[in-house]
Amino acid sequence: MATSSTNSPWKKVWRITKKVLFWLFILQFVYIILLRWIDPPITMTQLVSWVSGHGLKRDYVDRSAISPNAKLAVIASEDQSFPDHDGFDWKSIKKAMAYNERKPGRIRGGSTISQQVAKNVFLWQGRSWVRKGLETYFTFMIELCWSKERILEMYLNVAEMGDGVFGIEAAAQSYFNKPAKNLSRQEAAMIAACLPSPKRYKVKPASGYVAARSRTIVQQMNNLQSDPDIQEVIDTSPPGNKK
């Protein structure tokens, strides 16, 4: 009887824990589904930026209000295999792992746009095995539940593109005094060039890195623009009107 009495509270705690985990799973799943059509009210990265005094400039816009130049620029800069992979670019991951083994003092990432959306929308910044595991899960889920067009649209709306500047619309207005739908190829490339470290690299006035990197991105855009899979993803027409 004593053993039964001792174990009873733990059984109750375990039952409660299972219920909590079950409902957390249901709620996050529902949230993922809802984000197919609605934009996140706020992300952890945005909240931290605001609380820490870096500010929060953002203006979510529909994919039709984003220049194809901006979509092509981030694909050229961040993830050229974006239309073709299932959320993970295994070749880039292997290259990044090999580089990090050779130079442990310099960390190179191999994240796809899908992985960055998973991190930016659902998680926090930083490096840990727990966050990486959750990132893998959310990447799998958004690839399963969203279209590539929605993933790219979400990325362009939530990615930090300057110190406290989130999303392509806020970046276009802040740097070039124009809406995102009117960004030129060079302007879009300059914004994309800052993405690896948006608090460090300045778009305007352009740092030396951004100026040089943007020229490379424009070259990559020229190489990729005729790819039919990429054209389908950056097309601004409604899905039903695509050829």
What local confidence, expressed as pLDDT, does residue 150 receive?
97
Q: Where are the domains of the chain?
A: 1-34, 39-85+140-241
At 60, give phi and psi (nearest 5°): -65, 135
| Distance in angstroms (rounded) separating the CA atoms of residues 121 and 28 | 12
More confident residue, 230 or 15: 230
| Distance in angstroms (rounded) separating the CA atoms of residues 67 and 73 | 10
Lowest mean pLDDT among 80-84, 104-108, 166-170, 187-191: 104-108
Cα–Cα nearest to 219, from 67, 44, 80? 80
pLDDT at 61 over 60: yes
What local confidence, expressed as pLDDT, does residue 176 receive?
97
pLDDT at 73 over 80: yes
pTM: 0.86
Asked if the peptide bond before residue 205 counts as cis, ω within 30 degrees of 0, the response is yes
Per-residue b/e over 135-162, b at no fewer than 16 CB within 10 Å? beebbebbbeebebbbbbbbbbbbbbbb
What average pLDDT does the structure give for the chain? 88
DSSP code, position 58: E
What local confidence, expressed as pLDDT, does residue 174 receive?
96
| Distance in angstroms (rounded) separating the CA atoms of residues 44 and 47 | 5
- Topology of domain 39-85+140-241, CATH: Penicillin binding protein transpeptidase fold (1.10.3810)
- In the three-class reduction of DSSP (H, G, I as helix; E, B as strand; rest coil), residue 66 is classed as coil
Q: How confident is the model at residue 105 (pLDDT cuts 50, 70, 90)?
A: very low
Average pLDDT over residues 73-78: 96
